[in-house]
Chain A
């Protein structure tokens, strides 16, 4: 099952590359550099998903004290940080030719940077506390507090005047781009979601084994 998910993920990633580079046409205004969108947007959406799972698992842990919920929160936070790093680097690289700068302290970029640092802190906190139960409890609280930044990131482009464009996918009404671009975006989103599931399942399994070994 796990191996099948791995192969399915690999196939989906290949399909995403074909859609992004082979099927989707060159964008008229930005040129080929717009193809970074098929990497940037799915990675931020999967990061949202990962941190939402951290939130849910943290609440579940505080409620039930089940180790499985704590393992899921830790695994999801790790993968979320990874996808946030991809979001920030790809966005920065995309920003240079389109905005003329690698980085600017506008509301969207700053709130994403805060999100990244908060979940890095979450992982750091876990690694610093020796007592597993205490580490799980403290990080569950941080996992809930840090999730407050997710709506801030998403709505920052509406609440403040930013250089960053408004959301492309998670917004009411039809998509503001041709269907072939949307299709390429959705295929890549599905591929990244599968990759997230594969990484999290693997990490949860390893965390379980790690605890068995240490007992």
Chain B
């Protein structure tokens, strides 16, 4: 039977991509959560119940108008 190295590389490569992708997601989430609250609002939107749900903040002039 041929050695089929390309299948071996594909399997390990795909696994590395999946694991690396999850690790990067955890790192990104950690950065968001450790960021200063103002930065976190910029990333998470502040209005959203979860910091992962991204909703961009309105421009500063709109925010000023909204604030009491």
Enumerate chain A interface residues (CB-CB to B < 8 A). 26, 29-33, 35-36, 39-40, 43, 78-79, 82, 85-86, 89-90, 93-94, 96-97, 130, 195, 199, 202-203, 206, 209-210, 213-214
Contacts and interface: CB of A to CB of B under 8 A. Distances in A.
30 contacts: A26-B3, A32-B3, A32-B8, A33-B1, A33-B3, A33-B5, A33-B8, A39-B12, A43-B15, A79-B22, A82-B18, A89-B18, A90-B11, A93-B7, A94-B7, A97-B1, A97-B2, A97-B7, A130-B49, A199-B22, A199-B23, A199-B26, A202-B26, A206-B26, A206-B29, A206-B33, A209-B33, A213-B33, A213-B51, A214-B50
Contacts of B14: 86, 89-90, 93
Contacts of A89: 11, 14-15, 18
Interface of B: 1-5, 7-8, 10-12, 14-15, 18-19, 22-23, 26, 29-30, 33-34, 40, 49-52
Main secondary structure of the interface of A (DSSP, over half): helix
Given A36-B11, A93-B11, A210 B19 contact: no
Given A86-B19, A97-B4, A97-B7, A210 B50 contact: yes
B28 to A, nearest CB: 10
Contacts of A213: 33, 40, 51
Contact of B19 (A35, A36, A82, A214): A82
B48 to A, nearest CB: 10
Given A32-B5, A36-B8, A82 B33 contact: no
B8 A35 contact: yes
Given A36-B11, A202-B26, 19 more contacts: A30-B1, A31-B4, A32-B8, A33-B3, A33-B5, A33-B7, A33-B8, A39-B12, A43-B15, A79-B22, A82-B18, A89-B15, A90-B11, A94-B7, A94-B11, A97-B1, A97-B4, A210-B33, A214-B50
B51 A210 contact: yes
A214 B44 CA distance: 11
A33 B15 contact: no
Contact of A195 (B19, B30, B51): B19
Contacts of B3: 26, 31-33
